[in-house]
Structure 1
Amino acid sequence: MPELPEMENYKKLLSQLVLDRTISGVKVGREKSINMDPQDFKNELVGRKIIFIERRAKYLIFHLDNGGRLLLHLMLGGMLYFGTDEDKPNRTTQVEIEFEDKTLYFIGLRLGYLHLLSAKQTEEALAGIGPELLDRKMDETKFIKLFVSRRGTLKTALVNQNIASGIGNCYADEIAFAAGLRPDVKLQDLTEEDLAGLYQAVRQVLTDAAEHGGYMEQPLTADDSLTGGFGDLCKVYDREGKACVTCGQPILRTVISSRKVYYCPNCQHGK
């Protein structure tokens, strides 16, 4: 599932491609991917312009020139592509937004969605999401307060969008490794010093991943060489049996609360 770095990468690249371009056409291949009658959806969008793209947690918010918002959540398996029918991936598209010679394809929205909302409706839809960990207002003290009174495992806390937003399976494992903590360590056993180290690991991993285009392999455009660049830089995620980059011990895989977890038993400790 695309996480904060993947959506931040999309935001950055799309802001260079679609802003202030008139939407010339809209195609809806799956009605359940949108939140209204397809013809109404088309009528509302054709002739409009996207003037700003915002990321919130794992969502993208496309701000329209009439004050409306397109709220996107890719969920599991979703991806975006900007180009033409000739070069797009050989995948079924659920929604297509045309900009004259190029089209923004929304692919794999079987569980995800693209909803046209007002500004107020968008705020209401995102009201329960936790704070942004890379926000300028976030600091070590505020971060520690988010976790210090929590119970449960580190992994389940990191992926809980009500505690802090944007982290999923991949980056929870990468953050735990960077912090030197086992994903199954109990939050109540962590000291404030541990949580301070965890905060630094969060900042380091999410920033680095976003700068390298996240881990998704499918490029956004035909000449996109950035997207997916972090895939080869993952230290533990999806590396079961491979040597730890730090100590050489095999990376292990386990399951915590029905989620896959990857970690190094030598470099990461419990309590």
Structure 2
Amino acid sequence: MPELPEMENYRRLLNEKIRGKTIINVEVTREKSVNLDVKRFREEVQGSKITGVERRAKYLIFKLDSGKNLLLHLMLGGLIYLDLGNDEIDRTKQVTLSFGNLNLFFIGLRLGFLHLLSNEELEKTLSELGPEPLDPSFSIQVFQQVIAKRRGVLKSTLVNQKFLAGIGNLYSDEICFEAKLLPKKKISDLVDEEKIELYKSIQSILLRGIILGGYMELPVFKGDKVTGRYNDNCYVYDREGESCHRCNGVIVRDKISSQKSFYCPLCQT
């Protein structure tokens, strides 16, 4: 499932390509991917201009000049592809937004969705999300206040969207590795120094993920050289049986709170 770095990468690239452009046509091939009757959805979205693309947690928000918002959650298997002209890919599209010579394809929305919401509906939908870990206001002091209220193990806490917004299975493992902490360690057992290292690791790993364009398998558009470079630069995720880059230990795979997790048992304590 795309996490904060993947969605931030989408946000940046899409703002460069479609901000200020008018949606000329809307095609919906899977009714369950949208929240309105298809005819009404098309009528309300078609003719609107994209004033900007924002991100909150794992969501993208397409701001429309009508005052409404298209809220996207890709969920598991969801992808975005922007056809810059005569570059349509051989994938099943659930929703297509056309901007004249540009076509924005939403692919694999079997679990994901693209919902048209008012500002009030949008605020309500996102109201229970935790703080953004890369927001300038998210200081070490704020982090210490937030984590002091939590119990359970580190892995399940990091992926809890009410704790922090945007971290999922992959980056939670990478964060634990960077902080030299076992993902199954209990939050209550963390000492102050470990909490500080955890905070620093959350910041550095998410920024690294953004710089490397996340781990998506598909470029955002033809010629996109940024997206997906994290795939070949994971520290521990999906590297079971391989050598640890830090201590040459062997990366193991475990199940923690019903979620797969990868870590080095030698240098993560």
- 2:115 aligned partner, one-letter code: H
Is 2:147 the partner of 1:147? Answer: yes
**What letter is aligned with 2:249?**
Q
Deviates more, 1:138-147 or 1:109-118: 138-147
Q: Deviations over 1:98-157 (max 9, x none)?
A: 010110000010000000000110000000110101001100011111112321110000
What do you get for the CA RMSD once the two structures are aligned? 1.0
Asked if the contact 1:149–1:188 (Cα under 8 Å) also holds between the matched residues in 2, the reply is: no
Q: Partners in 1 of 2:90 and 2:259 — Cα distance?
A: 29
List gaps (5 residues or longer) in structure 2.
none
Letter in 1 for 2:149: S
Other-structure match for 1:59 = 59
- Bigger mean CA deviation after superposition, 213-222 or 3-12: 213-222
**Cα contact 2:23–2:99 (8 A) shared by 1:** yes
Tell me if structure 2 keeps the 8 A contact 1:148–1:192.
Answer: no
Q: What CA distance in whole angstroms lies between the structure 2 residues aligned with 1:205 and 1:97?
A: 33
How far residue 17 of structure 1 moved from its aligned partner, in angstroms, is: 0.6
Q: Which residue identity is paired with 2:251?
A: I
Mapped to 2, the partners of 1:232 and 1:144 lie a distance apart of 33
- Higher mean alpha-carbon deviation, 240-249 vs 78-87, is at 78-87
1:164-190 deviations in Å (ceiling 9; x for gaps): 110000000000000000000000100
User: Secondary structure at the residue paired with 2:18?
Assistant: coil
The ranges of structure 1 where at least 4 consecutive aligned residues each deviate by more than 4 angstroms after the TM superposition are: none
Q: Residue in 1 aligned with 2:180? A: 180
Structure 1 Cα separation of the partners of residues 190 and 150 of structure 2: 10
1:18-59 alpha-carbon deviations (Å, 9 max, x no partner):
111111100001000000011111111111110011100000
Aligned pairs for 1:1-271 (under 5 A) are 1-83=1-83, 86-269=86-269
CA distance in 2, matches of 1:121, 1:85: 34
Deviations 1:200-233 (A, max 9, x none): 0000000111111011121000110100011111
Q: Which amino acid aligns with 1:77?
A: G
CA distance in 2, matches of 1:231, 1:86: 28
Residues 43-94 of structure 1: CA deviation (Å, up to 9, x unaligned): 1111111001110000000100111100000000001000068533322110
Contact 1:58–1:166, Cα closer than 8 Å, also in 2? yes
3-state SS in 1 of match to 2:218: coil
Name the TM-score, length of structure 1 as normaliser.
Answer: 0.97
Distance in 2 between residues matched to 1:166 and 1:75, nearest whole Å: 12
Q: Taking every aligned residue pair, what percent have the same amino acid on both sides?
A: 50
The TM-score, its normalising length taken from structure 2, stands at: 0.98
Does structure 2 retain, via aligned residues, the 8 Å contact 1:23–1:45?
Answer: yes
Q: Deviations over 1:206-263 (max 9, x none)?
A: 0111111011121000110100011111100011111111111111000011111000
Equivalenced residue count is 269
Q: Is 2:84–2:222's contact at 8 Å kept on the other side of the alignment?
A: no
